[in-house]
Structure 1
């Protein structure tokens, strides 16, 4: 049984190099590997941009526009969910690559602030998003539109979408290209070095730094070239992420593949073992004790570094198996028509 007899169109932001657009390239590439007629379609506002050169490794050609016919499928990333009503005949799928940063739930928060009278001049930028939520992309309208197939990148998103939209979504993750992170590092590993992304809970990490011993070194991963990111992850002891984990984030996985110890907060996907399968003692519980807990944890992990890294062997094995599992997920959704699976169906 096949679910798609026509063409699969995947809407994307052309020219943007982040985890979301790369996942969309991976989807088209995998669909074509499975014999499906699939294409990326640039959003009209980005069609003039140049394609990301690094994504040339994927077999993901572009089509100039979506063909709205009953035999076709259109995949919308959650960033373009407001475009779904324009498609009347083709089967529509929404791929929730992120939850916290998705337009739907971000706009919902903005609308609630607006109706509560909390929007002042400093928050005027929220009003257009709030209006969009009211008119086109709010959860109530999505619950009513039962013809949309919801795909989710993480178990966190699976639980969230199932609860908020009263649907049974289907897992469609992504995979981490691993060759560059498994290469031989140019210099020895500095176990005392903690790296982090300032955009992921940076204010909390600043507070942790203030409580840590001076023997621990810190290096933010910001303003670096790709090769510098790889070298930093291969040379550090710990990668610390106290952010919100709106989806299955890429850098914690890249750090683990590089041989570093990945430590995350139990927020978003970080709270789900299926998304970030590291031991309990490598996760920090949010709350009033989060900063002192993290500050006390780091010296212990550094002192027993080799043993602690070995505890993440399961995590690294799962990351190395991501492409194989992604192929099964894509095949289930688009070829076999087996919808509704979550991470535990692929263990």
Structure 2
């Protein structure tokens, strides 16, 4: 199509939401007819790692950069993520894009020390969530015409419609996010079964999500998280706090009665869990809009990436 090449920086050998999103973009750019590759980095080494994609991402059929000379050749668009801002002033002779997937992780890791570098060297900002959009335009001070929305989509395995089966009083949670807040709630709601989602394959995750009634997430929500959406598409009711992206209806469009300002409001949280378990199929209808928005994400992502590429070509 042209001489422009897109390189998406991604940590080598890591399986999580951010790396999957980077592979999704690379795959979509290629399907749109562009030259796009992954840029795997490892530790503090600037040179791209010549390694294969993780097994989970082989389905995206991506290629990867093998040397800095091909990246820094003057015709490249390098897409940094908020965990790779250290490399912004070091990688040169290219046009630079910053993709804000996890606002909180950026703040924690950098204490915002490199905001001036970001303001001066980044040509275009991509945001994965409304939460990120407000941070970039209001805190970082980036003009809105330099900010573009490019979100993500969940895997197809979570979007498969299965016959509804008898749901059990099971509450799913991610023990890596907000466990200290959940402990007293778990102790007071022994009448439900609490299942941690950890060390599971995607097939096992979907199996649990199709027999459970609730997924609860009291983490920081540094971006538009995947597991709440995966659970909702599998039919679970979702309960959150109001941190990060969960505070924005655009990111988590569920009724406010399922979002809690005070995570120590154990009595009302317990009452909410009880209400869902006792009236599951009525409560499930409250998530219709959430599921509709999730079902549109893959198509929207394709259009967002197309618009992003057109900015440069």
TM-score normalised over the length of structure 1: 0.81
Verify the 8 A CA contact 2:158 2:230 in the aligned structure 1. no
- Partner of residue 92, structure 2: 88
The verdict on how the C-alpha distance between 1:48 and 1:185 changes in structure 2, with shifts beyond 3 A counting, is farther
Aligned residue for 1:85, secondary structure, equals coil
Structure 1: segments with no counterpart, 5+ residues: 110-132, 339-347
Structure 1 residue 237 corresponds to structure 2 residue 213: yes
Aligned residue for 1:26, secondary structure, equals helix
- Partner of residue 78, structure 1: 82
The verdict on how the C-alpha distance between 1:185 and 1:18 changes in structure 2, with shifts beyond 3 A counting, is farther
Q: What is the Cα deviation at residue 203 of structure 1?
A: 1.2
The answer to which structure, 1 or 2, has the higher relative contact order (CA under 8 A, 6+ apart) is 1
What is the rounded CA distance, in whole Å, between the counterparts of 1:47 and 1:88 in structure 2?
18
Q: What is the Cα deviation at residue 246 of structure 1?
A: 0.5
- Partner of residue 266, structure 1: 242
Give the alignment of 1:44-55 within 5 angstroms.
Answer: 44-45=42-43, 47=49, 50-55=52-57
What is the rounded CA distance, in whole Å, between the counterparts of 1:70 and 1:262 in structure 2?
46
Verify the 8 A CA contact 1:73 1:92 in the aligned structure 2. yes
What is the rounded CA distance, in whole Å, between the counterparts of 2:110 and 2:245 in structure 1?
20
What is the rounded CA distance, in whole Å, between the counterparts of 1:61 and 1:70 in structure 2?
20
What is the rounded CA distance, in whole Å, between the counterparts of 1:233 and 1:53 in structure 2?
23
- Partner of residue 23, structure 2: 25
- Partner of residue 283, structure 1: 259
Q: What is the Cα deviation at residue 337 of structure 1?
A: 5.6
What is the rounded CA distance, in whole Å, between the counterparts of 2:207 and 2:122 in structure 1?
46
Structure 1 residue 14 corresponds to structure 2 residue 12: yes
Equivalent residue for 2:231, pick from 255, 260, 265: 255
Structure 1 residue 64 corresponds to structure 2 residue 41: no
The verdict on how the C-alpha distance between 1:286 and 1:149 changes in structure 2, with shifts beyond 3 A counting, is farther
What is the rounded CA distance, in whole Å, between the counterparts of 1:326 and 1:235 in structure 2?
29
- Give me the CA root mean square deviation: 2.3
- Partner of residue 189, structure 1: 167
Residues 90-109 of structure 1, C-alpha deviation per residue, up to 9 Å, x if partnerless? 1100111101112xx11444
Residues 187-208 of structure 1, C-alpha deviation per residue, up to 9 Å, x if partnerless? 6321x11110111111111111
The verdict on how the C-alpha distance between 1:220 and 1:74 changes in structure 2, with shifts beyond 3 A counting, is same
Residues 236-273 of structure 1, C-alpha deviation per residue, up to 9 Å, x if partnerless? 11000011100111100110111111111111011111
The verdict on how the C-alpha distance between 1:200 and 1:71 changes in structure 2, with shifts beyond 3 A counting, is same
Residues 1-24 of structure 1, C-alpha deviation per residue, up to 9 Å, x if partnerless? x9x851111111122110010000
Equivalent residue for 2:186, pick from 198, 209, 229: 209
Verify the 8 A CA contact 2:150 2:301 in the aligned structure 1. yes
Aligned positions, number? 304
Structure 1 residue 100 corresponds to structure 2 residue 88: no
Residues 130-166 of structure 1, C-alpha deviation per residue, up to 9 Å, x if partnerless? xxx6xxx5223323x1543211111101101112211
The verdict on how the C-alpha distance between 1:174 and 1:325 changes in structure 2, with shifts beyond 3 A counting, is same
69-78 or 254-263: bigger deviation: 69-78
Q: What is the Cα deviation at residue 48 of structure 1?
A: 6.1
Equivalent residue for 1:155, pick from 102, 105, 130: 130
Residues 271-300 of structure 1, C-alpha deviation per residue, up to 9 Å, x if partnerless? 11111111111211136x533331221101
Q: What is the Cα deviation at residue 227 of structure 1?
A: 2.3
- Partner of residue 303, structure 1: 278
Structure 1 residue 325 corresponds to structure 2 residue 303: no
The verdict on how the C-alpha distance between 1:65 and 1:320 changes in structure 2, with shifts beyond 3 A counting, is farther
Structure 2: segments with no counterpart, 5+ residues: none
Runs (4+) of structure 1 exceeding 6 A deviation are: none
The verdict on how the C-alpha distance between 1:48 and 1:328 changes in structure 2, with shifts beyond 3 A counting, is closer
Verify the 8 A CA contact 1:267 1:286 in the aligned structure 2. no
Q: What is the Cα deviation at residue 331 of structure 1?
A: 1.4
- Partner of residue 200, structure 1: 177
Aligned residue for 1:38, secondary structure, equals strand
The verdict on how the C-alpha distance between 1:240 and 1:84 changes in structure 2, with shifts beyond 3 A counting, is same
Q: What is the Cα deviation at residue 310 of structure 1?
A: 1.1
Give the alignment of 1:111-126 within 5 angstroms.
Answer: none
What is the rounded CA distance, in whole Å, between the counterparts of 1:333 and 1:61 in structure 2?
20
